[in-house]
Chain A
Amino acid sequence: MQSNNNVERVGGARVASPYVASTAKKRKKKWNWALFFFVLPGFIIYSVFFAGPTVAALFLSFTDWNGIAPTFNYVGFSNYTNMLTDDPIFVQSLGNNLKFTLGVLIFQTVLSLFFAMLLVKNTKANIFYRAVYFFPTIVASVSVAFVWTFMYDPNIGVINNILSAVGLESLAKSWLGDRNIAIYSLAFVQFWAHTGQMLIIFVAGLHAIPKELYEAAEIEGASKWQTFKSITWPLLAPSATIVVAYTTIQSFKAFDLVIAMTGGGPSYATEILSTFLYHEAFINFRFGYASAAAVIFMIIIAIVTVLQFRLLKSNDVKF
């Protein structure tokens, strides 16, 4: 009998079977050399094509190599100090990156939470809306970029046409050509493409909140705002942490959009960290310098990731 697997009855007394005894002993797993070969192929590819190059980037950041010359010099931290103190384009890229990230972060988090609360129930209509909102996430960012390059076009673009059709010509702009707004135009595209994805994370978070809490709140006569403030929001904190960290990291990496829509222009107004280091490396051939930018980039992402894990741990809500 299946259910008798673990315990056998011997003369009326319950006796642990040898099988149970053996699992208890095997709790302490032993090395099996087969496992070594299991790990090997993935280990090699990951080490050679990813982990190794990451370490190499760190190493290159202390050199002045131009990528072509057979030799290079160690320059200590001078790439870093030059970049942080004496490179207006780097500083501008960092600033653009912050504007972009903050813009996306605020709108994306607030709106995805708002839509998640509207669409939380699994009705047919809601599932359809979620599917539509999610859709841009799966389309290549290059394609998304082309769609919006056309929408933004100052002469033939859809946005300016719509604006003039409703009598708001004064608001029509060169959305990607104006230095002051180009980075926000890009941020809107990022927001447009990924809000549906964040919405799904929030919906999952909302589903995990026990219904009894809401019933109790209703019996107590709590207002909608009170219910949100004292039940929904605190219990949603883990999802919110994930959304905020994910959005931040994703916005820092919005490489494809920038490359395909503006290439960092006009005059560096949309250059962000990832495109800055791409241009430094493969246009200006300053491999050492670009590597220093890469390391700074990596440190920023690492800080966001570690903060995320810290917050998630301390947020473990128990009920």
Chain B
Amino acid sequence: MKKLPQQLVLFIYAAIIILPFSMVLFATFKTTPELYKNPLGMPESWSFANYQDLFLKESMVTYFMNSVIVTGVSVVCIIFFASLIAYAIIRMPKKAGLALFGFFVVGMMVPTQVNMIPIYLLVNKLGMLDTLRGVIFVSIGFLIPIAVFILTGFMKTLPDGLIEAAKIDGASEWQTYLRVVMPLSLPSVATVVIFAFVIVWNDLLYPLLLLKSSEVKTLPIALLDFQGQYLTNYPMIFAGVIIASIPMIVAYVFLQRYFVAGMTAGSVKG
């Protein structure tokens, strides 16, 4: 059993983390004057008026679906392309594999803000400005390095004999990848899925840069616009925050172990 002062410290810090979130959740059921009068406490009544207003005044469903599409397509492509690359790296002659690994992994050092100007120009040139496609391609491009890094690291630890055995049984590279290596790599795939999911779902920079019209906005960028639009109508803004966070919270509650692994594996990249 811990000593009392330790218990107290842990409890206080937990309160510092939880209070702002409970404040936000309660606020979404309050009116603005009520929030100003009583910011931390429970709402007087559990009214869904703010959520209703938000869905009536804003195309929340569109924003939500845009986020789902961008995140879903990006994550699937990242996993597919990066795992193919990782497989090829462990299968090719050592020196070539190392060179290829280096080419991808060096991208982990580059902060996303560094190449935003050329990316903006490129996406504009390709006619993909203001399209979800543009954001998807860019997101895949910048997350492939970390995905290759994690997946190669894992696949390298698989015993060589397994792959050789598949070869001897006459399996092609594609079959070996799909039937032998991928099923065994599921733990690292889960790590990458979570990591990429959190980054793309929450990403502000690329949507801010590449999306302008409201039909293509993703949730973070829509939230940023609410701030300008509803100024001090915090209950409404907070309702948006809750809606944007729901998928993440649900996933976190059920897949907490993978989240911790995923976000810690990312400790090489932010």
Q: Tell me the A residues contacting B by CB distance below 8 Å.
A: 19, 22-23, 26, 28-32, 34-36, 38-39, 41-43, 45-46, 48-54, 56-57, 60, 67, 115, 118-119, 129-143, 146-151, 156, 158, 161, 192, 196-197, 200-201, 204, 242-243, 246, 249-250, 252-253, 255-256, 259-260, 274, 277-278, 281-282, 287, 290-291, 294-295, 297-298, 301-302, 305
Contacts and interface: CB of A to CB of B under 8 A. Distances in A.
A285 B171 CA distance: 55
B84 A41 contact: yes
Given A35-B88, A52-B118, A200-B260, A46 B223 contact: no
A37 to B, nearest CB: 9
A115 B7 CA distance: 11
Contact of B202 (A51, A142, A252, A301): A142
B57 interface: no
Contacts of A278: 113, 116
A297 B229 CA distance: 33
Contacts of B111: 249, 252-253, 274, 297-298, 301
A39 B17 contact: no
Contact of A57 (B23, B92, B117, B160): B117
Contacts of A134: 259-260, 263
A119 B223 contact: no
Interface string B121-146: 11000000000000001101110110
Interface residues of B, number: 95
Contacts of A26: 164
A51 B100 CA distance: 13
Nearest to A287: B117
B48 interface: no
A70 to B, nearest CB: 13
Contact of B205 (A129, A197, A250, A256): A256
Interface of A is mostly: helix
A259 B88 contact: no
Nearest to B10: A129
B119 interface: yes
Given A56-B118, A129-B14, A45 B260 contact: no
Nearest to A305: B109
Q: Which of A34, A143, A253 has the most CB of B within 10 A?
A: A143
A226 B40 CA distance: 44
A300 B209 CA distance: 23
Interface stretch (B58-66, B182-190, B241-249): B241-249
10 contacts: A29-B94, A34-B172, A35-B173, A41-B84, A43-B85, A140-B201, A146-B238, A151-B23, A259-B224, A274-B111
A158 B113 contact: no
B20 A147 contact: yes
B6 interface: yes
A36 B145 CA distance: 18
Given A46-B107, A50-B107, A255-B204, A147 B21 contact: yes
Given A22-B164, A139-B248, A260-B204, A29 B113 contact: no
B17 A147 contact: no
Contacts of B107: 46, 50-51, 54
A259 B144 contact: no
B52 interface: no
B104 interface: yes
B150 interface: no
Contacts of B168: 19, 22
A177 B39 CA distance: 21
A196 to B, nearest CB: 7
A115 B11 CA distance: 11
A53 B122 contact: yes
B267 to A, nearest CB: 5
Contacts of B254: none
Contacts of A130: 260
Contacts of A22: 164, 168
Interface in B79-106: 81-82, 84-85, 87-88, 91-94, 96, 100, 103-104
B120 to A, nearest CB: 8
Given A140-B202, A140-B220, A200-B260, A38 B118 contact: no
A32 B204 contact: no
B55 interface: no
A149 to B, nearest CB: 8
A297 B84 contact: no
B193 interface: no
B264 A39 contact: no
Contacts of B248: 138-140
